[in-house]
Amino acid sequence: MGYKQKGQLTTDIEWHKHLRKIGKRFFWKGERNAEKKMVNENLSEINDMTEIPSLTFDELFDLIEKNRFENPTDKKIAENI
């Protein structure tokens, strides 16, 4: 298997190694590890995008003073906090 086929994440050095018992084991072990790595990278990207930054009240008030919300509803919410 000298080339990477559609749906596979890894390649093998020699095309005929996957026909041998030990070659199969090494090939599929590498394939499983590559899939786990890919899934973990995708999950970390998703978690980074959905992570809500936690602000203390002091940081929130500093942001309010710096930005001076122009939207009246945002101003009301900020003043009530």
Arithmetic mean of pLDDT over the chain: 73
Residue 2 and residue 14 in contact, taking contact as beta carbons nearer than 8 Å? yes
- Higher-pLDDT residue of 62, 1: 62
Longest dimension (CA), the chain: 71
- For the chain, what are the domain ranges? 1-50, 53-81
The per-residue pLDDT for range 24-44, each reduced to its tens digit, is 788 788 889 999 999 999 888
Q: Assess contact for 18 and 12: CB atoms under 8 A.
A: yes
**Residue 54: DSSP 8-state:** P
Task: Output 77 or 1, whichever has higher pLDDT.
Answer: 77
> Residue 15 above 60 pLDDT?
no
Query: Can you tell me the distance from the alpha carbon of 50 to that of 35, in angstroms, rounded to the nearest whole number?
Result: 23
- Which pLDDT belongs to residue 1? 47
CB 18 within 8 A of CB 1: yes
pLDDT digits (tens, 9 = 90+) for 53-67: 677 778 777 777 766
Other CB atoms within a 10 A radius of the CB of residue 13 amount to 8
